[in-house]
Amino acid sequence: MKSEKELMLSGELYKALDDELFKDSRKSRRLTRLFNNSNEEDLEYRTDLLKQLFKSVGKNIYIEPPFRCDYGSNISIGDNFYSNYDCIILDVCDVNIGNNVLFAPRVSVFTAGHPIDAEVRNELLEFGKPITIGNNVWIGGNTVINPGVTIGNNVVIGSGSVITKDIPDNVIAVGNPCRVLRKITEEDKIYWNKKREEYYQNKK
């Protein structure tokens, strides 16, 4: 017989009111409370708390408090991750975030879902679906990422988007529901490389 935690992590219906899950949740709340109440000068301490909280972390991760998550232990983050204020990650299933990912303020990542049928839902049964975010992704403010979504590599998500379906590589996508606006092109690369050169010229 599977435990509630095993059912949860496998994407099956489960009940969150479970001793094992309560223990995991309590650990997450303690670590996030310590993190959110830490001083901005305690960067090493903050990083250590995140390493205790998450399943795995890469190099150079920085999260602006406040931050919230369900368990933390189902979140894997790559190198060079930055999240601005008020990030929420409901990680009842795996959340995998690649390298060089930027979150603007109030990005919400929700693996958690509830049955559409009210009778089943009222029995406190719920489920989760994993979320994957690729490398070199910038997600605009107030974006909601829904259960089961995969966001490809080299993607820009416009602010206020609600992502309900997978987003392919190398595109700009925006809206509710979020749709591909256009591909990221060689012209974009040329333009931004020129702007970068201007920046370094201005610094001389």
Q: Which pLDDT score, from 0 to 100, does residue 191 have?
A: 96
Chain segment 69-121, per-residue pLDDT in tens: 999 999 999 999 999 999 999 999 999 999 999 999 999 999 999 999 999 99
pLDDT for the residue numbered 200 = 93
Q: How far is CA 67 from CA 34, 35, 53, 173, in A?
A: 11, 8, 12, 25
Across 34-43, average pLDDT: 94
The confidence score (pLDDT) of residue 204 equals 82
Whether 114 is catalytic is yes
State pLDDT tens for residues 3-14.
999 999 999 999
Cis amide prior to 130 (ω within 30 degrees)? no
Q: Confirm if 83 and 51 have CB atoms less than 8 A apart.
A: no
CB 72 within 8 A of CB 91: yes
> Over 90: is that where the pLDDT of 160 sits?
yes
Which pTM value belongs to this model? 0.95
List the structure tokens of 46. 């903050």
Which tokens sit at 192? Answer: 């931004």
Residue 128 has pLDDT above 90, yes or no: yes
Query: Could you tell me the residue ranges of all domains in the chain?
Result: 4-202
Q: What is the pLDDT of residue 36?
A: 98
Residue type, 62: Y
Share of the chain above pLDDT 90, in %: 98
- The answer to whether domain 4-202 has CATH 2.160.10.10 is yes
Average pLDDT, the chain: 97
Q: How far is CA 51 from CA 55, 56, 64, 72, 80, in A?
A: 8, 7, 15, 10, 14
Catalytic choice (106, 114, 129, 179): 114
pLDDT of residue 203 exceeding 90, the answer is no
